A and B are shown apart, each in its own frame.
Chain A
Amino acid sequence: MFEFLLRMGDNTLVLGHRVSEWCGHSPVLEEDIALANIALDLIGQTRMWLGLAGEVEGQGRDADALAFRRDAWDFRNLLIVERPNRDYGHTLMRQFLFDLWHHERLADLCLSDDDRVAGIAAKCVKEADYHLERSKDLIIRLGDGTPESHARMQDALEAIWPYTGEMFENDALDQAMFEAGISPLPGSQKPRFDAALEDTLAKATLKRPENGFARKGGRKGVHSEDLGHLLASMQFLPRAYPDARW
């Protein structure tokens, strides 16, 4: 259960941090505000997941301790969320693919037999709903935009695509969570994800990559070097000044 909650909370923590890196650098003011708000939502969701994880673990670690005092190999996030921002097209494509998966995942978890999990999911799904609405809209506008924006979005899709395979992997932990009535199997989301994806890509005039190769490992703690860099900047302050308070 602890590990399952880390998988949920680490996704939103790492992506929330990545998105916040745009703060003050976005191409236009409205986008800057939007990304900052999305980052805030994701970090807020993290507090609930990691807060519950700390409670379940029972070792006295709270959400902050879990966020700031763990090393890369203890993180259980999907590799997609640690991908660097690169250009705005990559950032938006990563967000869209994540939102599409995240929204379905949360909708499934609303039906969890565990009231705490269902409660957090019901809170988060409302936010995931407008995150998805926004990223879908932007993918369509930019994909079906100028030749330049189209090419960049297709390029971003090709680059991030291999990181979607891991989302639908069912491992022993997923099986245990499924049998305990806590969570449906992630793999069961795949047909819904594919259908929604096809719909948006068609409107965006983008082509789904043929490549079936999937990069995996994040959910088991095997990460890319990028996560280490991200954690170094995210964790620096509380680690350098352990008693720092706002």
Chain B
Amino acid sequence: MVEAAQIWQWLSEVPDPEIPVLSLVDLGVIRAVEVMDGMVRIKVTPTYSGCPATTFINLDIEAKLRSKGIEKLQIEPQIAPPWSTDWIKPEAHEKLREYGIAPPRPGQPYCPRCGAADTELLSQFGSTPCKSHYRCTACLEPFDAFKCL
């Protein structure tokens, strides 16, 4: 019989559809995994209400677990408490930086390229709902920064 720890392990191999360097577990959207009488129950929280990736996240979870032979599966949305960028795992911050996205921090983000603190907001919304667009005033490169939520 499969154990919850194994399910968590498999889910940590499922990339986020929009930021593939992060896994769903890194992102903090998997809120609970329960295994009871052979039924796997997973609670998933949306990041932003309007995030189009939410549907794909559920499909990806299902595809992964089916490929591992899980037959009885239930994926339930969990709205409360609301997702927060604080739930992004600390080790994921480094992965984001390497990918060119400034990880969330209160106040101005640091430039993910040169590390400078002198950055300016270009647009509150970036390429996806979860990011804002910034420019580094030291190296002049534009970059995306994770919005604090």
Contacts and interface: CB of A to CB of B under 8 A. Distances in A.
Nearest to A28: B123
A33 interface: yes
A34 B126 CA distance: 8
A43 B83 CA distance: 18
A44 B49 contact: yes
A163 to B, nearest CB: 24
Contacts of B127: 33
A42 B50 contact: yes
B52 interface: yes
A37 B79 contact: no
Nearest to B131: A37
Instruction: Say what secondary structure dominates the interface of chain B.
Output: loop
B48 interface: yes
B122 interface: yes
B91 to A, nearest CB: 24
A11 interface: no
Interface residues of B, number: 21
A37 B149 CA distance: 15
Interface residues of A, number: 26
Contact of B82 (A33, A43, A122, A130): A122
A118 B133 contact: no
B49 A130 contact: no
Most chain A CB atoms below 10 A, which of B49, B79, B124: B49
B82 A40 contact: no
Contacts of A43: 50
Contacts of B48: 40-41, 44, 127
A37 B81 contact: no
Interface in A94-146: 115, 118-120, 122-124, 126-127, 130, 133-134
Interface of A: 30, 33-34, 37-45, 47-48, 115, 118-120, 122-124, 126-127, 130, 133-134
Given A44-B48, A122-B80, A123-B46, 8 more contacts: A30-B122, A33-B123, A34-B123, A37-B129, A40-B52, A41-B49, A122-B82, A130-B124
Interface of B: 46, 48-52, 79-83, 122-127, 129, 133, 147, 149
